[in-house]
Protein backbone atom coordinates (compact mmCIF):
# COMPACT_ATOMS: atom_id res chain seq x y z
CA UNK A 1 0.00 0.00 0.00
CA UNK A 2 1.33 3.43 -0.93
CA UNK A 3 1.99 5.81 1.95
CA UNK A 4 0.10 9.11 1.89
CA UNK A 5 1.84 12.15 3.32
CA UNK A 6 1.91 15.94 3.11
CA UNK A 7 3.79 17.00 -0.04
CA UNK A 8 3.36 20.79 0.11
CA UNK A 9 6.54 22.26 1.63
CA UNK A 10 4.86 25.50 2.67
CA UNK A 11 2.05 23.60 4.37
CA UNK A 12 4.58 21.41 6.22
CA UNK A 13 6.22 24.55 7.58
CA UNK A 14 2.86 26.08 8.50
CA UNK A 15 1.72 23.00 10.38
CA UNK A 16 5.10 22.60 12.07
CA UNK A 17 5.21 26.14 13.43
CA UNK A 18 1.56 26.00 14.45
CA UNK A 19 2.24 22.80 16.40
CA UNK A 20 5.24 24.36 18.12
CA UNK A 21 3.27 27.44 19.14
CA UNK A 22 0.44 25.27 20.41
CA UNK A 23 2.61 22.91 22.46
CA UNK A 24 5.64 24.93 23.62
CA UNK A 25 5.77 27.27 26.61
CA UNK A 26 6.56 30.54 24.83
CA UNK A 27 4.73 33.07 26.99
CA UNK A 28 7.81 34.55 28.65
CA UNK A 29 9.53 35.51 25.39
CA UNK A 30 9.35 38.80 23.49
CA UNK A 31 8.08 38.57 19.89
CA UNK A 32 11.62 38.52 18.48
CA UNK A 33 12.77 35.98 21.06
CA UNK A 34 9.75 33.81 20.32
CA UNK A 35 10.61 33.75 16.62
CA UNK A 36 14.11 32.55 17.52
CA UNK A 37 12.93 29.89 19.97
CA UNK A 38 10.31 28.54 17.56
CA UNK A 39 12.97 28.00 14.89
CA UNK A 40 15.31 26.39 17.41
CA UNK A 41 12.56 24.00 18.51
CA UNK A 42 11.80 23.25 14.87
CA UNK A 43 15.46 22.38 14.25
CA UNK A 44 15.64 20.13 17.31
CA UNK A 45 12.16 18.58 17.07
CA UNK A 46 11.89 19.24 20.78
CA UNK A 47 9.19 21.50 22.22
CA UNK A 48 10.73 20.81 25.63
CA UNK A 49 13.68 22.98 24.57
CA UNK A 50 11.85 26.23 25.37
CA UNK A 51 12.41 26.27 29.17
CA UNK A 52 16.15 25.85 28.64
CA UNK A 53 16.57 28.92 26.42
CA UNK A 54 17.73 32.12 28.11
CA UNK A 55 18.17 35.62 26.66
CA UNK A 56 19.72 38.61 28.34
CA UNK A 57 17.42 41.66 28.05
CA UNK A 58 17.38 43.02 24.52
CA UNK A 59 19.75 40.39 23.13
CA UNK A 60 17.55 39.21 20.26
CA UNK A 61 16.80 42.76 19.20
CA UNK A 62 20.50 43.76 19.39
CA UNK A 63 21.60 40.76 17.33
CA UNK A 64 18.92 41.34 14.69
CA UNK A 65 19.87 45.03 14.42
CA UNK A 66 23.56 44.16 14.09
CA UNK A 67 22.79 41.78 11.24
CA UNK A 68 20.68 44.44 9.54
CA UNK A 69 23.72 46.73 9.66
CA UNK A 70 25.95 44.13 7.99
CA UNK A 71 27.67 42.59 11.01
CA UNK A 72 29.73 39.48 10.32
CA UNK A 73 28.70 36.15 11.84
CA UNK A 74 31.59 34.41 13.61
CA UNK A 75 31.11 30.63 13.88
CA UNK A 76 33.06 28.11 15.92
CA UNK A 77 32.59 25.23 13.45
CA UNK A 78 31.74 24.75 9.79
CA UNK A 79 28.55 22.88 10.70
CA UNK A 80 27.32 26.28 11.87
CA UNK A 81 28.83 28.42 9.13
CA UNK A 82 27.59 26.11 6.35
CA UNK A 83 24.10 25.80 7.81
CA UNK A 84 23.27 29.51 7.73
CA UNK A 85 20.84 30.32 4.92
CA UNK A 86 22.63 33.01 2.93
CA UNK A 87 19.44 34.28 1.30
CA UNK A 88 18.04 35.16 4.75
CA UNK A 89 20.97 37.42 5.62
CA UNK A 90 19.82 41.03 5.34
CA UNK A 91 23.09 42.60 4.21
CA UNK A 92 25.15 39.85 2.54
CA UNK A 93 26.80 39.51 5.95
CA UNK A 94 30.22 37.83 5.98
CA UNK A 95 30.22 34.40 7.61
CA UNK A 96 33.57 33.57 9.18
CA UNK A 97 34.84 30.27 10.56
CA UNK A 98 38.58 30.13 11.26
CA UNK A 99 38.79 26.56 12.55
CA UNK A 100 40.36 25.23 9.34
CA UNK A 101 42.93 28.03 9.09
CA UNK A 102 46.41 26.56 8.68
CA UNK A 103 47.71 28.61 11.61
CA UNK A 104 45.32 27.03 14.12
CA UNK A 105 47.18 23.79 14.98
CA UNK A 106 50.34 25.67 15.93
CA UNK A 107 48.33 28.22 17.90
CA UNK A 108 46.62 25.43 19.81
CA UNK A 109 49.98 23.83 20.68
CA UNK A 110 51.41 27.15 21.85
CA UNK A 111 48.31 27.92 23.93
CA UNK A 112 47.96 24.40 25.31
CA UNK A 113 44.31 24.50 24.32
CA UNK A 114 41.95 22.98 21.78
CA UNK A 115 41.92 24.02 18.15
CA UNK A 116 38.38 25.30 18.67
CA UNK A 117 39.63 27.72 21.30
CA UNK A 118 42.78 28.68 19.40
CA UNK A 119 40.77 29.51 16.28
CA UNK A 120 39.10 32.36 18.14
CA UNK A 121 42.40 34.22 18.29
CA UNK A 122 41.95 34.76 14.56
CA UNK A 123 38.59 36.41 15.19
CA UNK A 124 40.13 39.53 16.70
CA UNK A 125 40.12 41.62 13.47
CA UNK A 126 36.46 40.77 12.91
CA UNK A 127 35.09 40.75 16.45
CA UNK A 128 33.94 44.36 16.89
CA UNK A 129 30.18 44.52 16.38
CA UNK A 130 29.94 40.91 15.18
CA UNK A 131 27.31 38.31 16.01
CA UNK A 132 29.02 35.28 17.54
CA UNK A 133 27.52 31.82 17.06
CA UNK A 134 29.07 29.03 19.12
CA UNK A 135 27.22 25.76 18.60
CA UNK A 136 29.72 23.04 19.27
CA UNK A 137 32.77 23.68 21.43
CA UNK A 138 32.60 24.64 25.12
CA UNK A 139 36.32 25.45 25.01
CA UNK A 140 35.60 28.09 22.36
CA UNK A 141 32.99 29.74 24.55
CA UNK A 142 35.22 29.66 27.62
CA UNK A 143 38.14 31.12 25.65
CA UNK A 144 35.95 33.87 24.23
CA UNK A 145 34.86 34.84 27.74
CA UNK A 146 38.49 34.97 28.81
CA UNK A 147 39.37 37.10 25.79
CA UNK A 148 36.58 39.54 26.65
CA UNK A 149 37.93 40.03 30.16
CA UNK A 150 40.62 42.16 28.48
CA UNK A 151 39.18 45.68 28.07
CA UNK A 152 41.24 46.08 24.90
CA UNK A 153 39.53 43.14 23.21
CA UNK A 154 36.94 44.26 20.63
CA UNK A 155 33.33 43.69 21.68
CA UNK A 156 30.86 41.71 19.59
CA UNK A 157 27.29 42.93 19.31
CA UNK A 158 25.85 39.68 20.67
CA UNK A 159 26.80 36.11 21.54
CA UNK A 160 24.78 32.94 20.89
CA UNK A 161 26.20 30.30 23.21
CA UNK A 162 24.84 26.81 22.48
CA UNK A 163 27.74 24.36 22.79
CA UNK A 164 26.60 20.80 23.30
CA UNK A 165 28.03 17.96 25.31
CA UNK A 166 28.94 16.41 28.62
CA UNK A 167 32.25 18.12 29.48
CA UNK A 168 32.15 21.87 29.95
CA UNK A 169 29.04 22.63 27.91
CA UNK A 170 26.74 23.34 30.85
CA UNK A 171 29.47 25.21 32.73
CA UNK A 172 30.49 27.37 29.77
CA UNK A 173 26.91 28.53 29.25
CA UNK A 174 26.46 29.26 32.93
CA UNK A 175 29.62 31.36 32.77
CA UNK A 176 28.33 33.20 29.69
CA UNK A 177 25.06 34.19 31.33
CA UNK A 178 26.83 35.15 34.57
CA UNK A 179 29.56 37.24 32.91
CA UNK A 180 27.25 38.84 30.29
CA UNK A 181 30.11 40.68 28.57
CA UNK A 182 27.63 41.72 25.84
CA UNK A 183 24.00 40.77 25.09
CA UNK A 184 23.86 36.98 25.17
CA UNK A 185 21.63 33.96 24.76
CA UNK A 186 22.22 30.35 25.74
CA UNK A 187 20.58 26.95 25.94
CA UNK A 188 21.22 25.81 29.49
CA UNK A 189 22.40 22.34 30.43
CA UNK A 190 23.88 19.76 28.09
CA UNK A 191 21.53 20.60 25.24
CA UNK A 192 22.80 22.57 22.29
CA UNK A 193 24.44 21.92 18.95
CA UNK A 194 25.01 23.30 15.51
CA UNK A 195 21.46 22.84 14.20
CA UNK A 196 19.77 24.97 16.84
CA UNK A 197 22.55 27.57 16.66
CA UNK A 198 22.01 27.86 12.91
CA UNK A 199 18.27 28.11 13.52
CA UNK A 200 18.82 31.03 15.90
CA UNK A 201 20.92 32.92 13.35
CA UNK A 202 18.43 32.24 10.56
CA UNK A 203 15.58 33.52 12.74
CA UNK A 204 17.50 36.66 13.73
CA UNK A 205 18.47 37.31 10.12
CA UNK A 206 14.90 37.50 8.81
CA UNK A 207 11.41 37.82 10.27
CA UNK A 208 10.05 35.53 7.55
CA UNK A 209 9.35 32.04 8.87
Whether the CB-CB separation of 161 and 173 falls below 8 Å is answered with: yes
pLDDT tens-digit series, residues 144-184: 999 999 999 999 999 999 999 999 999 999 999 999 999 99
Residues forming the active site: 42
Nearest to 75 by CA among 141, 6, 155, 8: 141
Superfamily of domain 52-205: Cobalamin biosynthesis CobH/CbiC, precorrin-8X methylmutase (3.40.50.10230)
Give the Cα separation of 56 and 78 in Å (integer): 26
- What's the pTM value of the predicted model, to 2 decimals? 0.95
Tell whether the model's pLDDT for residue 208 goes beyond 90. no
Lateral strand order in the sheet of 158-161: 53-55, 184-187, 158-161, 131-134, 73-75, 95-96
Give the Cα separation of 9 and 42 in Å (integer): 14
* 4, HSE (Cβ side, Cα atoms, 13 Å): 0
Whether the CB-CB separation of 176 and 161 falls below 8 Å is answered with: yes
Average pLDDT over all residues of the chain: 96
User: In terms of C-beta density within 10 A (0-12 exposed, 13-18 middle, 19 or more buried), how is residue 177 classed?
Assistant: middle
pLDDT tens-digit series, residues 33-80: 999 999 999 999 999 999 999 999 999 999 999 999 999 999 999 999
Q: Which sequence spans correspond to the domains of the chain?
A: 52-205
Amino acid sequence: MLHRYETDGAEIYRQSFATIRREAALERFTPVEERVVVRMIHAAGLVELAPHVAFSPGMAEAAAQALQKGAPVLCDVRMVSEGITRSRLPAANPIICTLQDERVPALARDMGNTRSAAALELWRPHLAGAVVAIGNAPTALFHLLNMLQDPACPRPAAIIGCPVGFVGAMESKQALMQDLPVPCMAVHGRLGGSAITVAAINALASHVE
